[in-house]
Structure formats: C-alpha cells, structure tokens
Amino acid sequence: MEPDYTVPNRSSISNALSLKYSDLRGQISAIVANSTALSFTTDIWTSVSMEAYMAVTCHFITQEWKLSDFVLETKAFQLSHTGINIAQQLGDAADALSIPNYKRVAVVHDNASNMKLCTEMLKKEPEKWGNVQGVCCSGHTLQLCINTALTQDRIRRTVAAARNLVGHFKKSAKATAALKEKQTQQNVVDHKLIQDVATRWNSTCEMLNRLVEQRWPVTAVLSDPSITKKGDRTLDLTADQWKLAQETAEVLGPLITLTELLSQEANLSLSATVPMLFNLKKRHLSPEEDDSPAIREMKKTLVTEIDSRWQLLSLEPGSIYLLSSALDQRFKHLKFLENEKKDLVYIEVVRLAEHLHQQQTVPEMEELSGSHGEEETAAAVPPPKKKRWEISMLMQSDDDEEEEEHGDSAKKEMEQYLKDTTKVQSEKYSPWWKQNSDRYPKLAFVAKHLLCVPATSTPSERIFSKAGYVVNKTRSSLLPENVDKLIFLAHNMKRV
C-alpha cells in the first residue's frame, strides 16, 4: 500500500524500545520517590525456554489516596533459589529505584521455605529494609488449608470418582455429543463439564458444582446402553456421593469468594483478611444440625487449619493484620476481638503513629546532610516493644507542652477516629481517608503505610501471565534484558 515506506530493522526497534523503557523508568522513579510507603510482592517463574525469572512488584497509596502498583523488574534468576539469593535480587530491585529503608513496609510471598527465609534475611538488614514485615500470601495459605480438608477419606474418594466421571466425557466424543442431546431433552442449561486441575483447588469446587448441575443428563447418558459400554456405567456416582459432592461444593463456595476478594488489586485486602476469616468461621464453617459427618469433619478441619496457619487465636496486638484492620474504616471497631485485646491494638497504632511522626522528618535531614550513620539506623528500627504497664502509662499520660507543639496527639486522634461515624459509599481504594486525612494527620500517615500491603502475591503471578505472551514458543530466544523491558512496558505504560 505504501511502497516507499521502509520497514524498521531490528536495531531500530530495539533502540526505540530501550529509549521508551528508560523514559518510563524515570517517570516511575519520580512517582515512587513521591510515595509515602511501599510494599512488595515477588515470585519466581520458569519460561518455555526453561529460564527462571523473578518478578518484583511494588504497591503504594498515592497522594490522591488511590491504590497503585508497578512492576519493578522481571529479571533472569540464574542462581540457586535460596532465600539469601532471593533477598539479594529483591534488594537490588528496590535499590535500583533508590527506595529508602523507611518506605519499605512489607514483602508478600508464598509459603515456600526459601521465601520465608528471604524475609528473615531482609529483617537482618535494617539499614536497607528498616522494619520490613514478611507476609505469606493469603490465597496460597487458604489453598493449603483446603487441600488438607479435601484429604478426608470420604471426600477424597468422592472427588476422585467425580474426576474419573468427568474424564470419561472429556475422552469420549460420543458421550459428549449425547450429553448435549440429553441437556436439550431435559431442558438443562447447555454447559460443558469442567475437569479440575491439581494445583487449583477452586477448580475442584467448579468441577463439583458443574457436575451436580448436570447430574441428570450425565446419569441419562451413562444409563443408555447404546452410548455407554457396560463397564463404564459404574462411573456414575452413588446417591451418597452426589449429595456429598453438592455439600462439599457449598462449603468451598464462600472460600472461592474470599480468595477472589483478597486477590483483587483495587481492594484494601490485607486489612480485610482477619475480619473476613473470623466471619467465615462464624457464618459458614460452624457445624449445622443437618450436616453429614463428613461435612462436619471437613468444617472442623478447615477451622483448625485456618486458626493454625494464621494464628488467629494468638495474634499479637502489633500484628500487621490487626493494625491494618484498625485503620480500615470498615473494621476499625475490631468486633471479632475481645475488648482488652482491642485496646492493645489501638495502643499499638498510637505508638506506631507517634513513632512515624517523630521519624518522618529524619530522612529529609539525612538527605540534606548526606549522613547515613546512627540517626538512619534509629529511624529504620522502631523502639523495642513496651511492656503492658508502660503502654498503659503511654495512653494515660498527656504532655501539654508536647501537644501544644505538635498539635493533637495520636491518642486524641484515635479517640476521635473511633467515635467518627462518617461513611463514604465506594467499593474501591480508600475514599474515606481521602476525605478525612486532614482531620487525622498522624493516623492517615500510618494508614498509608499499612493499607498499601496486598493480602496475596497474585500481582507478581499476574506478571507471569503477561510474560507467557511475551516469551512464547516463537519468541523463546529473547534475551533476558529484553524480556524485562517488554514486560515492564506492557504492565506499567497504562499505569503512569
């Protein structure tokens, strides 16, 4: 159509890509530098060319109180996957954007031992990572709880029988065509059966739900001798198994909803984790009179696993889960806790607010003086946790001179905040704090630190979905640095 047009060669495209990457990285550096606090997620993925890549994403709340995120890098990981090596590469990603230690709040990762060791190594470097917290992915933790519950003998055998039944229809074109015909005859919705995947527990729930929905067309196909061989008719589930399959799917349904809510990037998810888990235990996992013994045992196992893996019954008042819940307007009254423990959580929020208020100007002074000595270490490491009687004195004491100098204390802000009944009708971001941050400046500063932490590591896993399109079979020879640039641009361009 345009004979005079010269198609750019490989070098031209590569140079244009590098220039765009450098320009966008500069913009992101400026945005990150203007943020109050950041959290990170990380994970490791293997491409079709059998090269390992480690993705690092950062999450923060903007000055307009909107949740935002960027992918920092997706770099080749050629070393052994030890916690020390992961910590080193994660540190390099944060250092490349000159993210100071006092802004590094948390690292969200899966439950692998090397990832847990990684955060332990980061805690040993307060000069780089301050008081960073390691947070296990809630989605992965919930999956471990459910996998344990599904190992119960009767449920395990029912799921295996359902899997074999679905597999029969997946392998037989004749049975699939007959199923479609039976659906029309019985006026059942035309849905295909779903085969579960071992690494996705929610697919097991979807498989059982779909099978129960299509029970009578499936039974009709299996009982038709002209379609199904005599030996395959035994694939049909027994009446007890059909009932158990339905009950199991009903128990797992709310857990799927919880996982989806915690995985949505636009939600304040970490602050909702513990309140939702307590609500789940109370409303959906409490035994009912008409529950079968297998379902009762399943619910009991789920409750035990959730309590154990999240340590719900022994959460410390200074837990990042409880602190973030206290600063989420939806859950600030902490109704799932006893009154005494609530007060301790509020005390910890006040202590953290005063500490951050005192230290937020120190980094600016250090940047002007170029000093990185004892003051920087003091800013990075919070004071040791106060004893019970010391905390009580903190809440009871009231230094008039200090309050006159610094305005309302964090204690007074907390008292007013708990009495505040102002509501904002919105499902996204944190509009309540956007409208009320001027009234509670110290608490708002803490909120930006704690509410930016996602509950799951799915943001870094979603990067690998993009990476799968970039590093495909026809582009398996891409250099690792070009893979990093392409994914960086693909994810971040629409966010800047």
The pLDDT tens digits of the residues spanning 48-57 come to 888 899 999 9
Establish if 392 belongs to a structural domain: yes
158 and 179, same domain (yes or no): yes
The confidence band for 428, taking pLDDT boundaries of 50, 70 and 90, is low
Question: Measured between alpha carbons, how far is residue 265 from residues 41, 52, 469 in Å?
Answer: 12, 25, 21
Last residue of a domain, one of 272, 287, 313: 313
Whether residue 187 sits in one domain with residue 126 = no
Please indicate, yes or no, whether residues 306 and 188 belong to a single structural domain of this protein: yes
Q: State the Cα–Cα distance between residues 132 and 216, nearest whole angstrom.
A: 55
Q: Residue 368 — pLDDT band, cuts 50, 70, 90?
A: low
- Greatest mean pLDDT among 97-101, 103-107, 194-198 lies in 103-107
**Does a structural domain hold residue 100?**
yes
- State mean pLDDT over 192-208: 87
Are 284 and 385 within one domain?
A: no
pLDDT at 392 over 60: no
Q: What is the pLDDT of residue 397?
A: 41
Phi, psi of 40 (to 5 degrees): -130, 150
In this structure, are residues 214 and 187 in contact, taking their beta carbons and an 8 Å threshold?
no
* Residue at a domain's end among 431, 450, 469: 450
Do 38 and 166 lie in one domain? The reply is no
Q: Are 126 and 154 in contact (CB under 8 A)?
A: no
Q: Provide the number of structural domains found in the chain.
A: 3
Residue 25, in any domain of the structure: yes
User: For residue 341, what are the contacts with CB-CB under 8 A and spacing of at least 6?
Assistant: 317, 334
Domain for residue 5, yes or no? no
pLDDT over 90 at 390, yes or no: no
Domain that holds residue 361: 315-450
Q: How confident is the model at residue 465 (pLDDT cuts 50, 70, 90)?
A: confident
Cα–Cα distance, 483 to 436 (Å, whole number): 43
Any domain includes 2: no
pLDDT score, position 429: 54
- Cα distance between residue 76 and residue 84, in whole Å: 16
The answer, yes or no, to whether residue 406 has pLDDT greater than 70, is no
Tell me what percent of the residues of the chain surpass a pLDDT of 90: 70
Residue 227 lies in a domain: yes
Question: Are 166 and 222 found together in one domain?
Answer: yes
pLDDT at 364 over 70: no
pLDDT category at 231 given cuts 50, 70, 90 is confident
Q: Is residue 149 part of a domain?
A: yes
Indicate the pLDDT class of residue 451, thresholds 50, 70 and 90.
very high
Tell me: do 491 and 429 sit in the same domain: no
pTM score of the predicted model: 0.85
In a domain, 1, yes or no: no
Asked whether residue 365 falls in the same domain as residue 276, the answer is no
Residue 84 pLDDT greater than 90, yes or no: yes
Task: Report residue 326's pLDDT band, with 50, 70 and 90 as the boundaries.
Answer: very high
Considering the domain architecture, whether residues 301 and 361 belong to the same structural domain is answered as: no
Residue 42: CATH number of its domain: 3.30.420.10
Alpha-carbon distance of 318 to 305, in angstroms, equals 22
**CA-to-CA dists, residue 473 to 46, 421, 470, angstroms:** 13, 56, 9
Say whether both 99 and 153 belong to one domain: no
Instruction: Specify the pLDDT at position 50.
Output: 87
Tell me whether residue 112 is exposed, middle or buried, using C-beta atoms within 10 angstroms of its C-beta: 0 to 12, 13 to 18, 19 or more.
Answer: middle
**3-class SS string, the chain:** CCCCCCCCCHHHHHHHHHHHHHHHHHHHHHHHHCCCCEEEEEEEEECCCCCEEEEEEEEEECCCCCEEEEEEEEEECCCCCCHHHHHHHHHHHHHHCCCCHHHEEEEEECCCHHHHHHHHHHHCCHHHHCCCEEEECHHHHHHHHHHHHCCCHHHHHHHHHHHHHHHHHHHCHHHHHHHHHHHHHCCCCCCCCCCCECCEHHHHHHHHHHHHHCHHHHHHHHCCCCCCCHHHHHHCCCHHHHHHHHHHHHHHHHHHHHHHHHHCCCCCCHHHHHHHHHHHHHHCCCCCCCCCHHHHHHHHHHHHHHHHHHCHHHCCCCCHHHHHHHCCCCCCCCCCCCHHHHHHHHHHHHHHHHHHHHHCCHHHHHHHHCCCCHHHHHHHCCCCCCCHHHHHHHHHCCCHHHHHHHCCCHHHHHHHHHHCCCCCCCCCCCHHHHHHCCCCHHHHHHHHHHCCCCCCCHHHHHHHHHHHHHCCHHHCCCCHHHHHHHHHHHHHHHHC
CA distances from 335 to 84, 263, 274, 278, 331 (A): 40, 24, 11, 10, 8
Give the pLDDT band (50/70/90) at residue 405.
very low
Alpha carbon dihedral 139, 144, 320, 268, in 10-degree steps, equals 20
The mean predicted confidence, pLDDT, of the chain is 87
CB-side exposure of 469: number of CA atoms within 13 Å?
A: 8
Residues 215, 133 share a domain: no
Answer yes or no: do 188 and 294 share one domain.
yes
Per-residue pLDDT tens over the stretch 33-75: 999 999 999 999 888 888 899 999 999 999 999 999 999 999 9
Mean pLDDT of 155-164: 94
